Chains A and B, each alone.
Chain A
Amino acid sequence: MNPTTNEIQSIAILPELILSVAGIVVMLADPFLGAKSNRRPLGYLALAGTVAALFATAMQRSSPGASYFRVIQVDDFSVFFHFVIIAITAVVTLSSLDYLEQQRIRAGEYYALLLFGTVGMCLMTSARELLMLFIALEISSIATYVLAGFRLRSAASAESSLKYFLLGSFATAFFLYGVALIYGATGTTNIPAIAAKLAEGSTTGLTVMALALMIVGMAFKISAAPFHVWTPDVYEGAPIPVVALMSTGPKAAAFALMLRVLFGAFGSLNEWWMPLIWVAAVLSMTLGNIGALMQNNVKRMLAYSSIAHAGYVLVAFAAQKEAGVSAAIFYTATYAAMNVGAFAVASYQAGEGERYVSIDDFAGLGRRSPVLATTLTIFMLSLIGIPLTGGFFAKFYVFKAALASDMIWLTVIGVANSAIAAYYYLRLIVVMYMKEGDESTPLLPVPVSVATGLLVAAGLTLYLGILPESTLDFAIKGARQLLLIH
């Protein structure tokens, strides 16, 4: 009897397999197409890959469990994040189709890197082995570093790529050092095994040190303060669809990783990491919102806003228990929908060479393109947290969980921050509708691909704001399984 065959259940990594194969086909097809030929079919291929991967993820729900020698864990938690991440990639692909042609960016490599990066992000959510997590983290990070530098004609893009690469690999090194120390302390890198070991023994300096180092690495990836300084510069230079991806996809994956590590492995040490998360949450919300107030560039504004939103998710981390974890999961999904949508609008409005990215350039968008203006309004209202949008329930669940854990101050700071944030989001809406733009700027007809992407993102944002129950149930199930596993 071959002992290995029953460990290898390809269903456990089926979405990743599909995405990898799609990526490989795109990568191989690119050089075989002529230099002048249209690269759009490669985009459709990538899109088909993501849709197939979504179906594969749906199939995974019926076969949960650990496989690949307990490296991969399929449960509601991983399936939920798979849905979120692959949907993000699909919408990013849709908004890239026209953008790439407009900016004359090499499409073949772009889509291949997008798909491979998604493989890494997906594995980050289903891995339960620190080694696997690390390699998945590297795959997702390195793909994004390269994607950030895809505007070859722009010095800002090269700067963005280099800054992201240098600081990012430094942060990953911290994470890896933490992994090495926890292996030294417990003799294993398997997350449930670490949890079991930590629960039985007394806490040593070694485990606390490992925990601290891993938090540094993860906080960088979610751009939580005080590890957020890279965010505005990197977002400013990178191509906008890539920013849409990296402000949501790798971040959702990093939140999943952080949930898995903090609650899965270090659950018994929560009195150690709780204060750290509390401080990081307060700093991220405050610094992010204050920073965003002072920006005139939409990309930089959304970069600071993404720091602030990382802070709100960390509030849910601090709230802990099932309510906190499920709120964090729900928030990640909502944030992904509204943020990827906002960037999709920006990427189309930016024009050739990304010239129109300052807030004033959005003047008169309400007249020039009602579709873009309406959807962007939905995303902005959702980012504020207005009822009937997903952002409302996301914030509501987070603060509810925080109050239930008696974190009054954290809740007060969070709510105050949401109020500050309303200013800069509303400012963009006001500029779009109230301010007259240059009369000579032409109308902006929206191509089908961009419209489809916007429709999906806006639809999901509204759906999460009107009918959040089923998604929340899903998130609660995921949270329950995450907390049960050790």
Chain B
Amino acid sequence: MLHQALFFLIAAMCVAGAINLLLQRHPIHSALSLIVVMGSLALLYLLLGAEFVAMIQLIVYAGAIMVLFVFVIMLLNAGEEEHTRGSRMALWFGAPAVAAIVGMVVYVLTSNSTTLREVHLGAWASTTHDVAMPLFREYLLPFEVTSILILIAILGAVVLARREH
């Protein structure tokens, strides 16, 4: 009961943040709403018992990535956005398609709810220790290879954002 109440509370916070993000006209306000979304997502992960993921969500997304967002907004000196009438394509094809996909996901997940396991409130599905052991053993190679991914991102950032003299 408590679990459901908490879930709906946090989920409502998340959705409200997302809607506010879209409605705000100033990019900084949108960015601040995004922090609400990220933070409530972290709480949802915590509710699911994924402690480590919740922490990463806070440190990387609500922390580092939001800093980047705000910097880029200030870099572009983006003012209030101009409203266009919106694309007709998006209205006639995009919206029904999104509705169909969301409907399908909801249907599939609810119809499979008996076979899927439930998480009980406060039962850790995975502690940091549980995450760490496979990460440094079974998933050793994927872990090591992410370092190459980081190198690519460094190269990309330097190439695209910096002029050679």
Instruction: Tell whether, in the assembled complex, residue B108 and residue A142 are in contact, meaning their CB atoms are under 8 Å apart.
Output: no
Interface residue from B105, B138, B148, B160 paired with A139 (Cβ < 8 Å):
B148
Instruction: Tell whether, in the assembled complex, residue B146 and residue A113 are in contact, meaning their CB atoms are under 8 Å apart.
Output: no
Chain A interface size range: 35 or more
Q: Which of A143-151, A239-247, A314-322 contacts B (4 or more CB under 8 A)?
A: A143-151
B133-151, CB < 8 A from A:
137-142, 145-146, 148-149, 151
Given contacts A119-B148, A139-B148, A209-B105, contact A72 B141 (CB under 8 A): yes
B23 interface hit (Cβ, 8 Å): no
A6 interface hit (Cβ, 8 Å): no
Q: Write out the residue numbers on chain B whose beta carbons fall within 8 Å of the beta carbon of A13.
A: 141
Which DSSP category, helix, strand, loop or mixed, fits chain A's interface? helix
**Contact pattern, A 219-253, Cβ under 8 Å of B = 1, otherwise 0:** 00000000000000000000000000000000000
B104 interface hit (Cβ, 8 Å): yes
B98-126, CB < 8 A from A:
104-105, 107-109, 111-112, 115-116
Interface residue from A24, A35, A69, A112 paired with B138 (Cβ < 8 Å):
A69
Count contacts between A and B, CB distance < 8 Å. Answer: 97
Which DSSP category, helix, strand, loop or mixed, fits chain B's interface? helix
Complex Cα distance, B140 from A8, in Å, reads 10
Complex Cα distance, B156 from A149, in Å, reads 9
Q: Write out the residue numbers on chain B whose beta carbons fall within 8 Å of the beta carbon of A116.
A: 148, 151-152, 155
A159 interface hit (Cβ, 8 Å): no
Complex Cα distance, B152 from A142, in Å, reads 7
Instruction: Tell whether, in the assembled complex, residue A20 and residue B152 are in contact, meaning their CB atoms are under 8 Å apart.
Output: no
The minimal Cβ–Cβ distance linking B117 to chain A, given in whole angstroms, is 9
Instruction: Tell whether, in the assembled complex, residue B139 and residue A71 are in contact, meaning their CB atoms are under 8 Å apart.
Output: yes
Residues of B within 8 A of A (CB): 104-105, 107-109, 111-112, 115-116, 137-142, 145-146, 148-149, 151-153, 155-156, 158-160, 163-165
Residues of A within 8 A of B (CB): 4, 8, 13, 20, 23-24, 27, 35, 68-69, 71-72, 106, 109, 112-113, 116-117, 119-120, 123, 129, 131-132, 135-136, 138-139, 142-143, 145-146, 149-150, 152, 161, 184-185, 204-206, 208-209
